[in-house]
Homo-oligomer: A and B are copies of this chain.
Amino acid sequence: MLYLIGMGLHDERDLSLKAVEALRGCERVYLESYTSCFNGDINRLQEMLGKEVVLLDRKDLEENPEENVLAGGEVGLIVMGDPMVATTHSDLVLRAREKGAEVKVIHSSSVYSAIAETGLQIYKFGRTTTIAYPEGDYFPKSPYEALKENHMRGLHTLLLLDVKADEGRYMTVNEGIKYLLMMEESCLQNQFKKDSKCVGVARLGGDTAIRYGTAEEVIKEEFGGPPHILIVPGKMHYMEEEMLKAYEV
> A146-184, CB under 8 A of B: which get 1 and which 0?
000100010100000000000000000000000000000
Residues of B within 8 A of A97 (CB): 246
Asked whether A58 is an interface residue with its Cβ less than 8 Å from the other chain, the reply is no
Partner of A204, one of B107, B111, B155, B242: B107
Given A16-B109, A110-B109, A239-B94, A122:B85 Cβ within 8 A: yes
Given A82-B114, A94-B242, A153-B127, A13:B9 Cβ within 8 A: no
Asked whether A121 is an interface residue with its Cβ less than 8 Å from the other chain, the reply is yes
Residues of B within 8 A of A219 (CB): none
Given A85-B113, A121-B87, A108:B243 Cβ within 8 A: no
> A123-136, CB under 8 A of B: which get 1 and which 0?
11111111000000
Q: Are B108 and A16 closer than 8 Å at their CB atoms?
A: yes
Q: Are B108 and A108 closer than 8 Å at their CB atoms?
A: yes
Q: Are A91 and B239 closer than 8 Å at their CB atoms?
A: yes
Given A129-B123, A153-B127, A243:B110 Cβ within 8 A: no
Complex CA distance for A6 and B243, rounded to whole angstroms: 19
Number of copies: 2
Residues of B within 8 A of A93 (CB): 119, 243
Q: Are B123 and A126 closer than 8 Å at their CB atoms?
A: no
Asked whether A236 is an interface residue with its Cβ less than 8 Å from the other chain, the reply is no
Complex CA distance for A111 and B110, rounded to whole angstroms: 10
28 sample A-B contacts, Cβ–Cβ < 8 Å, listed by A number: A8-B16, A8-B108, A9-B107, A12-B17, A15-B16, A15-B17, A16-B17, A17-B17, A17-B20, A82-B114, A84-B122, A85-B116, A90-B119, A94-B242, A106-B205, A107-B109, A107-B113, A107-B117, A107-B205, A110-B110, A112-B113, A113-B113, A123-B128, A124-B127, A125-B128, A126-B126, A126-B127, A149-B153
A residues adjacent to B (C-beta < 8 A): 6, 8-9, 12-18, 20-21, 81-82, 84-85, 87, 90-91, 93-94, 97, 105-114, 116-117, 119, 121-130, 149, 153, 155, 204-205, 239-240, 242-243, 246
